[in-house]
Amino acid sequence: MKFKTIEWKRDRVRILDQRKLPLEVIYQDCRNANSVARAIRTMAIRGAPAIGVAAGMGIALAGKTIRTHQPEIFRKEMEKVCSVMGQARPTAVNLFWAIHRMERVLSDTSLDVKRMRIELEKEALKIYKEDIEMNRAIGEMGKNLIQTGSGILTHCNAGALATAGYGTALGVIYAAWAEGKRFHVYVDETRPMLQGARLTAWELCKSKIPVTVLTDNMAGWLIKQGKIDLVIVGADRITRNGDTANKIGTYSLSVLANHHHIPFYVAAPISTFDFTLASGKDIPIEEREIREVTHFRGSSITPEGVGALNPAFDVTPHSLIQAIITEKGIIRRPFNKNLKKMFTT
């Protein structure tokens, strides 16, 4: 990739502001943990893996700015930072996974403040590096699911912009393309924030992969025309029975795919699994401001005073998912049994 979604700059975290794409490529320098949390909350950076990486870096950044040499005071202040970071977005489990890893560093009572700062930075950079490695492994695991001549439909953005680099669902597409396979990708625009039209299409154009954008309500028509051979999406949280939370509109695609007998795949790293939840009904669904639905680039597109709904995610039941592509391998149904087997080997 010729762009970086997020970078550690020692005294700041630099992120590519995704709200500006594709019209402007602007980087935002976050100089404290609060500004990183704000970037996550306002979707300047988004995508479950990228949110986790940003959270780790934001916590490490806070460690540099807290002025005390007393370990207990330092830990208490850092607990507050972790709490604020955890409130940024509730659905993406990678956020809490990364925070937990940073909290493990803080729980080591053998470390003084200087050493905790060093270890926090090391852990944040480790999360960043691991994410890129996991994404590339996901791509390698899933590339054989794509054949030359395929029509591929994806929703929202699960590419380099949603991760530390490379991508999950798009990582599979990139790996298949790099192997020499040639195909066409169709991208839902993904209302209301247009991550497909603005971000996924931008990424694919950068990689010179043929791409066509469609409005969300065109998907059924396109599938019925026989243009789509498989659907592949990312995930923000996967429960232990295989139910998957992803951007709102994903569930509709899974129903369409199953009705038309085409495979529906989810691509996600192991860090996206939440084994504390039995099923998708337990996943908290983020409700965002209705202004994102009623306005576009600051201008109203609905009658004044009208109500609107804005859930950021929906849940696809495991029965509609053909396989989940992870860095450890492809998991197929029955998910309850096969997920347990993968996580215990």
Residue 180 burial class via C-beta count within 10 angstroms: exposed 0-12, middle 13-18, buried 19 and up: exposed
Q: Is 289 left (phi over 0), alpha (psi -120 to 50) or beta?
A: beta
Helix 48-65 / helix 33-41 crossing angle, nearest 10 deg:
160
Catalytic residue among 188, 216, 236, 314: 236
Residues 57 and 167: their CA atoms lie apart, in Å, by 19
Cα 254 to chain centroid distance, Å, stands at 18
Residues 243 and 256: their CA atoms lie apart, in Å, by 17
State the pairing for strand pair 273-274/237-239. Answer: parallel
In order of 46, 67, 107, 224, the CA distances from 72 in angstroms are 33, 12, 10, 62
243 is catalytic: no
Residue reference for tokens 């039209």: 197
Residues 57 and 68: their CA atoms lie apart, in Å, by 20
Residue type, 206: K
Q: Is 180 left (phi over 0), alpha (psi -120 to 50) or beta?
A: left
- Catalytic positions, please? 236
